[in-house]
Structure formats: C-alpha cells, structure tokens
A = this chain, B = another copy of it.
Amino acid sequence: MIRYEVLKEDASSHARLGRVETPHGGFDTPAFMPVGTRGAIKGLTPDQVRATGTQILLNNAYHLMLRPGDELVARRGGVHAFMRWNGPILTDSGGYQAFSMADINAIDEEGVTFRSIVDGARIHLSPERAIAVQNNLGADIIMAFDDCPPAGDDDADGRARVQVAHERTVRWLARCVAAHARSDQALFGIVQGGRDLELRAASVSAIAEFDLPGYAIGGVAVGESPAEIRTVVEFTAPRLPADRPRYLMGVGYEQDILAAVRAGVDMFDCVLPTRNGRNAQAFTRGGRLHLRNARFAEDDEVVEPGCGCCVCSQGFSRAYVRHLFAAREMLGPILLSIHNIHHFQVLMLDIREAIRKDAWSSLFEAWPGLLPGAPPQGRERPLDRESSRQTTRKS
C-alpha cells in the first residue's frame, strides 16, 4: 500500500510538494509518469528511463491483458519483475482504452464487451475483471474501472450520457473496491462528470466517500478544448481530499501541467514525450523542434543547448538526429524519447523547487513558455493540443 505526505503547501496556489512511498520505493510529487504501454517505454531500457529522472512509470492494463496476458505476467512475478523496473508502477484499468479504441459490442451495467485489437477475440471487461487483471499485473497503484465516454454535444443527450457515466462510475467503483484482492496495491478512484461542474462536484463527493488512497480526474482530454479542460481541472482538483494524491489522467503539455499543479494536482502521465519523440519532435524550453526539417541538416547544436539529458550532454547534434530520422534509424526515436522524457522530468523538478522555495518567478525565468498568457511555444507549428489525452492513454 502507499503512503502520501504533503511536505509543503504553496502560498499562492493549490500546489503542493509531496512524496508518495510505495512497496517499490517512493516518488516525489508533482510527478510525471512516462507511458510504457506494453511493458516497455518504447525503445528505452529501464536504465535509460531511470537516467531521465523518472521515478514512476505507467503501464496499460488493457494492452498487457490482451498480450502477453495478465496471468502470464503474474506467473513471471508481475510487471516489475517482467520488465525489470524495480521502481513504482501505476497501471490504468483499461476503461479508457475499452471505450476509445475498441470495436465495442455492448456497454451495459455489467461492463463492456469488445473485440481484441490483437486477435479479434471477444473480450469482456467489467469492474471485477479490470481489478483482477491489475491484481495479476501487480503495479503499486491501480485504477478503478470507469465509464469514460467521449466529450459529447452540449445538448440534453450529451448531458444525459455524462450523467449516466458519472453514476455508473460510482457504482462500478463499489464493485472495484469489493473485487480488489491485494493489500499491497493502492486502488485510486476516478472522478467523472464531463464539462458539467455540478456533475463534477457530485462525482467528487460520491467517489471521495470510498476513502481511497488516491483519486484521479478522468474524463478530460476526451475531445474538449484546452480552456474547458483547465476549467474542469481547476474546479475539481481542489475539491479532492487534500491528504491523498491527485492524478490528472492523460495531460499534457507543459502549460497544462503547470496549471493543473497550481490547481492541486500531484500526478501526471502523457505519451507526448515518447510519441512526439518517435515522430522527430523535440521538446525544448524554447518550444518544440521538428527535427526532420531540412533547416537542421547542418545544425551542429545539440538538441537543446544547456540540457543535461544523456543525449544533449553527450553531444548528439540536431544534424545527426535529423540524419537518423531521414535514414529511418531507430536510434532517432530513442534519442528524442530520452531527451523529451528528461525535459518533462526537469519541468517537474523545477516545479517542485518552485513550490519548495516559493520561487515561481525563477520557474518562469527558466521556462518562459510557462508564463500565463505566453504565446504558443516554438518555431514549429504546435501539435493539436486536444490530441494530448487521446494520445496518452491510447498508446
């Protein structure tokens, strides 16, 4: 089971500095979790992941359930032993994937039936099954199975679907709690409620009733605008129990993370650093660089001058990285995944320092793109921001 301690509360916002201890060691909060969908951060060894400053990572129960199978992983000693990551791991429940990726046959009170993306087999996922899968995988933190519909229209039908999802998520949480069979794993509840703040408040109240070791804000970044996401997060996060870690699922870009931290969020996951890295995009404090661009062909700068990651500190140039992508060498995606995860981990480190030392202005000096109202970062056209969440949990 986990233990959470708030070490410092920020004077000017809901931000807090904290520490979570798990059976596989601790992590500092606010924390960023890179996504190791199928039991691996794509292309990186655990040593390389650790060297980015990562303390906890995320695996997808949905993908591991389908292949190689959660029972097979259990017989290997669980995900930690299987993937040789001896630090904290969080698995998500598969709910989001079941609702967003699958060829769904039926959703009802019992659960979801869909076709496997691996072999087309008919799969049933229910609160009980999602918890059994995660008990088998053995992560330190596991997630409730929630009803997570896409952001619908703002009409009566759309609101009704969100209302159903909220109420069903509460009933499913009771079943998750009843099914959860391992005292060494912390089960987090997930708040739903869409863009409807009244429903969000109702969901917080109902979910917090379960007195769980942590709570997540779900049902965001499923198609809303960035402004809508921010409104929901700023409304919801401070209402969650202050003595438990708060996790915002699938968000996001640097500014989104900072806004959520200031709303009181402690944990984040996102595929942006790895997925965009595989697509030749480098995150830097000055914005994102698309290293396939011809203007980098003879650029002898490292990916980000001054960066301390294993890629920049060893002198790999933009010209070389561009060559690797042009030649379709897998070392290109690897180098940018390392750099980008490190970028997010240094962001979290600097945010934690800002909270610890009440030094937000130094943070904004070091990260000019984080200034409220700062223009969209980078010389390259930013990616569609809405894609960050779908990006996240789908991969």
Contacts and interface: CB of A to CB of B under 8 A. Distances in A.
A323 B67 contact: yes
Nearest to A77: B300
A326 interface: yes
B84 A327 contact: no
A319 interface: yes
B297 A331 contact: no
Given A75-B298, A76-B300, A84-B315, A326 B40 contact: no
A39 B82 contact: no
Given A76-B300, A314-B46, A67 B320 contact: no
Given A315-B84, A320-B76, A297 B330 contact: no
A324 interface: yes
Interface in A37-62: 38-40, 42-48
Contact of A44 (B46, B300, B324, B331): B331
A72 B298 contact: yes
Interface string A281-318: 00000000000000001101000000000100011110
A83 interface: yes
A76 B300 CA distance: 7
Interface string A319-353: 11011101101110111000000000000000000
Nearest 4 CB-CB pairings of A with B: A40-B331, A68-B323, A38-B327, A43-B330
Which of the four size classes fits the interface of chain A?
A: 35 or more
A67 B315 contact: no
Interface string A70-100: 0010011000011110000000000000000
Contacts of A83: 320
B331 A45 contact: yes
A222 B326 CA distance: 30
A319 B45 contact: no
A83 B327 CA distance: 13
B84 A316 contact: yes
Interface of A: 38-40, 42-48, 63, 67-68, 72, 75-76, 81-84, 297-298, 300, 310, 314-317, 319-320, 322-324, 326-327, 329-331, 333-335
A103 to B, nearest CB: 20
A126 to B, nearest CB: 25
A298 B42 CA distance: 22
Nearest to A278: B330
A334 B82 contact: no
A329 B38 contact: yes
A331 B72 CA distance: 19
A295 to B, nearest CB: 14
A74 to B, nearest CB: 11
A278 to B, nearest CB: 9
Contacts of A45: 48, 310, 314, 331, 334-335
A72 B294 CA distance: 13
A198 B331 CA distance: 45
A68 B39 CA distance: 34
A180 B378 CA distance: 45
A350 to B, nearest CB: 26
Contacts of A40: 324, 329, 331
- Pick the most buried of A46, A75, A334: most chain B CB atoms within 10 A of its CB: A334
Contacts of A76: 298, 300, 317, 319-320
A297 B76 CA distance: 10
Contacts of A334: 43, 45, 330, 334
A199 to B, nearest CB: 37
Contacts of A297: 68, 72
